[in-house]
Amino acid sequence: MPIIEINNVTKNFKINKIQKGFSGAIKSLLSREYEIKRAVDNISISIEKGELVGFIGPNGAGKSTTIKMLCGILVPSSGQILVDGRDPSVERARNALNIGVVFGQRSQLYWDLPMDETFDLYKKMYRIEDKRFKRNVEFYVDLLDMHEFFRRPVKQLSLGQKMRANIAVALLHDPEIIYLDEPTIGLDIVAKDKIRHFIREINKEKKTTVILTTHDMDDIENICNKLVMIDKGKIIYDGMLSEFKRTYCHDNVIIVDFQDLNSVIEDSRLKVVKVEGNRKTIIYDKQDISSGEAISLVTRNNIVKDLMLKEPEIEDVIKKIYEKNMSL
């Protein structure tokens, strides 16, 4: 049985129409006009326990609205959500015991105190047993490398350190599911890496289901095994990440520095897309031609100084999808 089930869920927001100018302001005083904005449009998703789900989409696509409905913060306008068999908007507090939530840059920690004071509070709030609490704190402090700043007031921590502490606090009670809304936003590469590693470890160790929203495709590649893409409130992809790559990421790239300016490549399967002096950028579809064959074709009749092979980047594919809003 899936741990999260979203069935035909729609969420509408009523927005006040603001009319222009002074007379408009007077008019809106007397009669309000509303506009219905459909943030989430009849979506259905099903997620199994232990899955690592990347939830992506452009700004305003409906990601946060969906996550908030899953947490029980917002009530769907229609449709049904079941998280671990419960409707989160009806049994909000009971559902909250079962989940961990980290909302982007918003902190759950007490600013003036070291993080362990907040940990103590959450121990009480979530009724975590002493043994489990001690074990988890040790485990997280080790895994997130927090020894050095464990007893330092939160306000003195760097962004990356704060994010690590926030994720730890959200996981103290061993939730079945953790929702991470842009957990790596604004962090440096090392900090991002630590967090990605940690999420994978937690998933492996405790079978925690992870739902993660991000704009950083490296997060997706490094953490997720499932991808859900949403745009304008509709699901445009829902499936395994590997499947997504196999289906949509064909364009492998070879960048070649030729000795000779007039080098030619005579094969319709290889397309030259960019020429900068001696350097040519060539793309090919892995389904038509293997990388080995492509390289041998390029080097057969030309003297090659240098050659670089690039895997297709998921980011490029997703960018194209957002831009064209093509439905898959």
Partner 1 sequence: MHYLSLYLEFIKINLYSMIQYRVAYITSMLAQALDYGVSFILIWVMIYRFGTLNGWLPYEVMFLYALSLCSYAIAGFFLHITMSNLSSMILNGEFDEVLTKPMNPLLYLASRNFSPGYVSHIALSVAIMAVSFVNLGIKLTPYKIIFLCICILGAALIQGAAFLFTSVPSFWITQNRLKQILFHQLRTFIDYPISLYNQFVQIILTLIIPYAFINFYPAQYFLGKQDFLMFNQSFQYLTPLIGLVLFILAYKFWNYGLRHYKSTGT
Binding site for partner 1 (CB under 8 A): 13, 60, 64-65, 68, 71-75, 92-94, 96-97, 99, 101, 103-104, 106, 108, 110-113, 117-118, 120-121, 124-127, 153
Question: What gap in Å lies between CA 9 and CA 29, rounded to an integer?
Answer: 33
Nearest 10 degrees: Cα torsion 170, 175, 178, 184? 40
Closest to partner 1 by CB, 118 or 161:
118
Q: Which is nearer to partner 1, 109 or 270 (CB)?
A: 109
Nearer to partner 1, 233 or 241 (CB): 233
Q: Which is nearer to partner 1, 54 or 62 (by Cβ)?
A: 62
Q: Where are the beta strands (DSSP E) in 159-294?
A: 177-181, 209-213, 226-231, 234-240, 251-258, 271-276, 279-285
Tokens of 322: 């957002």
Instruction: Give the nearest distance from C-beta 118 to partner 1 in angstroms.
Output: 7
Select 73 or 304, whichever has its Cβ closest to partner 1: 73
- The token pair at 141 is 């402090």
Alpha-carbon distance of 59 to 215, in angstroms, equals 9
Burial class (CB in 10 A: 0-12, 13-18, 19+), 285: middle
In angstroms, give the least distance from the CB of 3 to partner 1. Answer: 18
CB 209 within 8 A of CB 100: no
> At its nearest, how many Å lie between partner 1 and the CB of residue 195?
20
Return the number of the residue (16 or 259) whose C-beta is nearest partner 1.
16
* 86, two tokens: 């419960």
Measured from the CB atom, the residue of 121 and 304 that comes closer to partner 1 is 121
Whole-Å CA distances, 117 to 120, 121, 123:
5, 7, 10
Q: Least distance from C-beta 76 to partner 1, angstroms?
A: 13
Give the DSSP letter string of 74-88: S--SEEEEEETTB-T
Output the smallest distance, CB 95 to partner 1, in A.
8
Residue whose pair of structure tokens reads 């507090």 in the numeric block? 93
The distance of closest approach from Cβ of residue 65 to partner 1 in the complex, given in angstroms and rounded to an integer, is 8
Q: How far is the CB of 249 from partner 1 (least distance, A)?
A: 29
Ordered DSSP codes for 96-117: HTTEEEEETT---S-TTSBHHH
- Residue 303 CB, nearest approach to partner 1 (Å): 54
Looking at the Cβ atoms of 63 and 280, the one nearer to partner 1 is 63
Residue 311, CA distances (Å) to 30, 34, 253, 316, 318 in order: 60, 48, 7, 11, 15
